Amino acid sequence: MGDLSSTTFHGASTRAETHARHELPQGPPYPFDSVLHLSRYSWAVEHVIRSGDTAIDLGCGTGFGTALISNFCSHVTAIDLDPGVSALSERWGTKNVSYHCDDACSNELTNRVLARNVDVVLSMETIEHLEDYFTYIENAIAMMRPDGVFAVGTPNRTMTYERYPNRSHMDISHVQEFSAVSLGRTLGWYFDDVEVYYQYLPNFWSTHRADRLYDLNEVAFSRVVEHPELASDAFGVMAVCRRPTTRHLFTD
């Protein structure tokens, strides 16, 4: 994982009201939910972000991921619908982050948030909360460089469908959840190059205890095409998208 030694995450509740508003407790090691959240950003630092990149955290939530990646980026634009986003700079002590309260699905987003030609757009655990995720994806494309990267992390619907009681979603706030196939096909309409990964904890289903804490290096990411057997074990799917296409644009 990326070097997190210079990043401190201060105390917060150990149980968030919803996964969308997750609060990261002191660590490492971390509770199960927290290590899944944090590892998505840590993986992006290692595999997506290059030192000095400009980035957008689209749907930044409580801001711990923004604070993490700001240590590796020249500037980060953080966007969230919660008005509390305005207080995150003071909370996390970030100097190279601009925070914006706005709707990722708004047709006017790019008129109000003037970030352009960024190297990386990250969006972790946001797409599953959105009814109009089409405009959300188009907004991301409008703000990134033509050779930039859009990385999306979201819960794995195959796992929740097969393992959760009554085939429920991971959280009641989710509008929909995506399998690896459905996420790849949705983003494949907008990008010519989409790689999808499973995020999982090896042997979790046979060894997990409620009081167990985890280190970041215990979370694994594997390409879906190489490990389809992980479909019902993985907690998350991560899509890394490059080369935006124009076939989704309609003209009269």
Is the predicted pLDDT of residue 202 greater than 70, yes or no? Answer: yes
More confident residue, 101 or 251: 101
Length of the chain measured in residues? 252
pLDDT above 90 for 9: no
Question: What are the CA-CA distances from residue 144 to residues 56, 150, 151, 204, 243 (Å)?
Answer: 9, 8, 11, 36, 11
Q: Would the pLDDT of 8 be above 50?
A: no
- Going from the C-alpha of 126 to that of each of 51, 136, 155, 202, the distances in angstroms are 25, 10, 10, 25
Cβ-based burial of 211 (10 A; exposed 0-12, middle 13-18, buried ≥19) = exposed
pLDDT of 5 above 50: no
User: What percentage of the chain reaches a pLDDT higher than 90?
Assistant: 75
- Residue 99: phi and psi, rounded to 5, are -110, 140
pLDDT at 108 over 70: yes
Specify whether the backbone of 212 is left (phi greater than 0), alpha (psi in -120 to 50) or beta: beta
Average the pLDDT over 221-243 and give the result. Answer: 97
**Residue 16: pLDDT over 70:** no
- Radius of gyration from C-alpha coordinates of the chain: 17
Closest CA to 139 of 223, 65, 224, 81: 81
* 48 in Cβ contact with 120 (< 8 Å): yes
Q: Are 195 and 221 in contact (CB under 8 A)?
A: no
What domains does the chain contain, in order, with CATH numbers? 34-244 (3.40.50.150)
| Per-residue pLDDT at 172 exceeds 80 | yes
Residue 41 Cα distances to 111, 151, 225, 249, angstroms = 27, 10, 22, 30
**Residue 173 predicted with pLDDT over 90:** no
pLDDT at 20 over 80: no
For 46-101, what is each residue's pLDDT tens digit?
A: 999 999 999 999 999 999 999 999 999 999 999 999 999 999 999 999 999 999 99
100 with 112: CB under 8 angstroms? Answer: yes
Residue 4 confidence (pLDDT) above 70:
no
pLDDT at 13: 25
φ/ψ (deg, to 5) at 148:
-85, -175
Question: Between residues 172 and 67, which one has the greater pLDDT?
Answer: 67
Tokens 């660590």 — which residue? 27
Residue closest to 60 by CA, chosen among 33, 87, 28, 29? 87
Q: In this structure, how many other beta carbons lie within 10 angstroms of the beta carbon of residue 69?
A: 25
Compute φ and ψ for 206, nearest 5 degrees.
-105, -15
pLDDT tens-digit profile of 21-42?
677 777 789 999 899 999 999 9
